[in-house]
Amino acid sequence: MKGKREGPQPIARVPTGVGQLDAILRGGFLKGGSYIVSGAPGTGKTIFGNQACFRHAAAGGTALYVTLLAESHGRMLSHISDMTFFDPEMVGKAIHYVSGYEALRSEGLKGLFTLIRKMIKRYGATLLVVDGIVRAEGVASSSEEFKIFIHELNVVLSLLGCTAVLLTNALAESNSYAARTMVDGLLQIDDVMDGVRAVRQLVVQKFRGSDHLRGAHFFEIGSEGMRIYARVEAMLATPTNLPRATNGRSSFGVRTLDEMTGGGVAEGTATLVLGSSGTGKTILGMHFLSEGARRKEPGLYFGFFESPARFLKKGDDLGLQLSKYAGNGLLEVIWQPTGGLIMDALAERLFEAVRRLKVKRLVVDGISGFEESVVRPERLGLFLTSVTNELRGLGVTTLVTEEMRELFGSEVEIPVSGVSGLAENIVLVRQLEIVSELKRAIAVMKTRENAHDDRLRELKITDKGLEIGDPFESEEAVLTGGGMPRPQPPDGRPESTKRGR
């Protein structure tokens, strides 16, 4: 007598091959399961189904694509032939296209069921896509008959080790309920308007037998097919790695600023550089990256305003040798033009580069690039917190710039709510009018794990980059942008220089 296994085993996963959907589903579909992908016409269901088939075949599986629509397979394939996942060599070998239209029309659900069962077995299919299951629903005489069809399909899938994706428009209410109770998972895809912008989103409404990332996840359709991005604050709710304790400091590469911060900021922390336009925030980032590269610490500039060529030239003109460091792999510049981007896609590109280059220093220039790509503004604070926590876990020292809206004024306001909490360190740079003269000033407002010099100092942009001068000691209220000379005592010395003497 032979006992083959002791108790139920975990069910194997079948990767979907569709962007980060596998991360959303914690590993992919469950082998032998059935999943409805529902969405209005034009939302990308057919691309989803075909992409899943080609990726499955590329990974060594065999796919069966059953259409219940009048559209020919040739026409459908011509629509996806420009997409990078498409490989004509797979068609007829590892991916088999079968029309179920005639079997359904002449023999109803029973005929379709028999066809699917025989085709799965004939081809040894491990992935089944049924495109247009709404047609099958249409020929069912009752919701009970449709339910039985789905149930028997589930039995076949389980016995033959085949995973099914059923593509459909919205089903009729009664049949939809029947189908929803019978399948292992429900994925809803929609094209929704966000102001004048159209965005595509996916929601996993049901996923039997496994945890998954709930809520909306956004996706794009392009030359790579469908790219789904897991919502960052859901995926990184817990950082992949915990931050390590370290005594190391990351020098800014600006001598006086390093002195003000006790040798730079703590390694693995985030620093917010806050300032109005033209105050040298990007140049400070260049110093920071150049100094890191000089110490053989790989750096990444992730910006929205400067193209790579202009960024490198600007740094070279200041003597920071950025092109040299870019050439020997110690610096990479990624430019993301704003507008139309998905915030989660930006995060994916950022982390891809951080992991690939083993980045130690990162400059994100600036937060407004993320702000302009956000579909739900209320996400931004939590999104940025999740991103910076993950960066801390990866040991990356991050410098993030953020533009203040007011050039001058009596208030220091951080434009994006929740941002101040994400950074251990805050550096303020701003323009000042002092006795009818325009000057720049820099101050360290906050540092973690270290004391700092919190005096406001003059900041100059020279042909060698940033230079920081002495503290403003003879003016009052310079931080508010309107410095006035302090009243001079009778002996001519400023009041501040007399204190403590």
Q: How far is the CB of 108 from other proteins (least distance, A)?
A: 16
61-80 binders of other proteins (CB under 8 A): none
Closest contact distance (angstroms) between CB of 188 and other proteins is 27
CB of residue 128 vs other proteins: minimum separation in angstroms?
14
Structure tokens at 439: 């000057």
457 Cβ contact partners less than 8 Å away, ≥ 6 residues apart: 256, 260, 441, 442, 443, 468, 469, 470, 471, 472
Q: If binding is defined by CB under 8 A, does position 159 make contact with other proteins?
A: yes
Which of these segments, 159-167, 315-323, 362-370, 484-492, binds other proteins (CB under 8 A)? 159-167
Task: Single out the segment in contact with other proteins by CB under 8 A; choices: 43-51, 130-138, 155-163, 171-179.
Answer: 155-163
Closest approach, Cβ 98 to other proteins, in A, equals 17
Q: List all residues 6 or more positions away from 179 whose beta carbon is below 8 Å from its beta carbon.
A: 36, 133, 137, 146, 147, 150, 166, 171
Among 161, 263, 308, 418, binds other proteins (CB under 8 A): 161
Q: Is 2 a residue that touches other proteins (CB under 8 A)?
A: yes
Position among 47, 119, 158, 324 found at the interface with other proteins (CB under 8 A) = 158
- In angstroms, give the least distance from the CB of 151 to other proteins: 6
29 exposure class (CB count in 10 Å sphere: 0-12, 13-18, 19+): buried
DSSP 267: T
**Looking only at residues 94 through 153 of this chain, which bind other proteins when binding is defined by CB under 8 A?**
117-118, 121, 148, 151-152
The distance of closest approach from Cβ of residue 5 to other proteins in the complex, given in angstroms and rounded to an integer, is 5
CA pseudo-torsion sign 478, 264, 237, 14: positive
Q: How far apart are CA 226 and CA 235, in angstroms?
A: 19
Residue 7 is a binding residue for other proteins (CB under 8 A): yes
Among 4, 75, 405, 499, contact with other proteins (rule: CB under 8 A):
4
The distance from CA 273 to its chain's CA centroid, rounded to whole angstroms, is 22
- How many residues bind other proteins, per CB under 8 A? 23
x-marked contacts with other proteins along 176-195 as a string, rule CB under 8 A: --------------------
- Residues whose CB falls within 8 Å of the CB of residue 220, separated by 6 or more in sequence, listed in order: 200, 226, 227, 229, 342, 345
CB of 172 to other proteins, least distance (A): 23
CA 260-266-272 angle, to 5 degrees, is 75
Tell me which residues in 17-56 interact with other proteins (CB under 8 A).
32
CA angle 233, 252, 299 (to 5 degrees): 55
- Measured from the CB atom, is 159 or 484 closer to other proteins? 159
Instruction: Specify the residue, 159 or 192, whose C-beta has the smaller distance to other proteins.
Output: 159
Query: How many angstroms separate the Cα of 46 from the Cα of each of 40, 114, 128, 189, 437?
Result: 11, 23, 13, 12, 64
Near other proteins by CB under 8 A: residue from 1, 193, 435, 451: 1
Report helix angle 73-80 to 45-58, nearest 10: 80
Pick the binder of other proteins from 40, 59, 155, 477 (CB under 8 A).
155
Residues 179 and 404: their CA atoms lie apart, in Å, by: 53
Give the Cα separation of 39 and 202 in Å (integer): 9
Kindly tell me which residue out of 9, 141, 223, 247 binds other proteins, with binding defined by CB under 8 A.
Answer: 9
- What amino acid occupies position 328? N
Q: How far is the CB of 2 from other proteins (least distance, A)?
A: 6
Q: For residue 114, give the amino acid letter.
A: T
Nearest distance from residue 171's CB to other proteins, in Å?
21
The yes or no reply on residue 6 touching other proteins (CB under 8 A) is yes
Residue 166 vs 384, nearer CB to other proteins: 166
- CA–CA distance, 91 with 58 (Å, rounded to integer): 11
Q: List strand residue ranges (DSSP E) for 94-139, in order.
A: 95-99, 127-131
Cα separation, 227 vs 208, in Å, equals: 23
Rule CB under 8 A: choose which of 58, 80, 160, 172 binds other proteins.
160
- Residue closer to other proteins, measured from CB, 153 or 202: 153
Nearer to other proteins, 66 or 426 (CB): 66
Q: How far is the CB of 139 from other proteins (least distance, A)?
A: 19
- For the bound state, the minimum distance from the C-beta of residue 10 to other proteins, rounded and expressed in Å, comes to 11
Helix (H, G, I), strand (E, B) or coil at 386: helix
Closest to other proteins by CB, 160 vs 357, is 160
Q: Are 189 and 37 in contact (CB under 8 A)?
A: yes
Nearest to 47 by CA among 223, 229, 230, 231: 223
For the record, the structure tokens of 460 come out as 């100059």
Chain residues that interact with other proteins, rule: CB under 8 A: 1-9, 11, 32, 117-118, 121, 148, 151-152, 155-156, 158-161
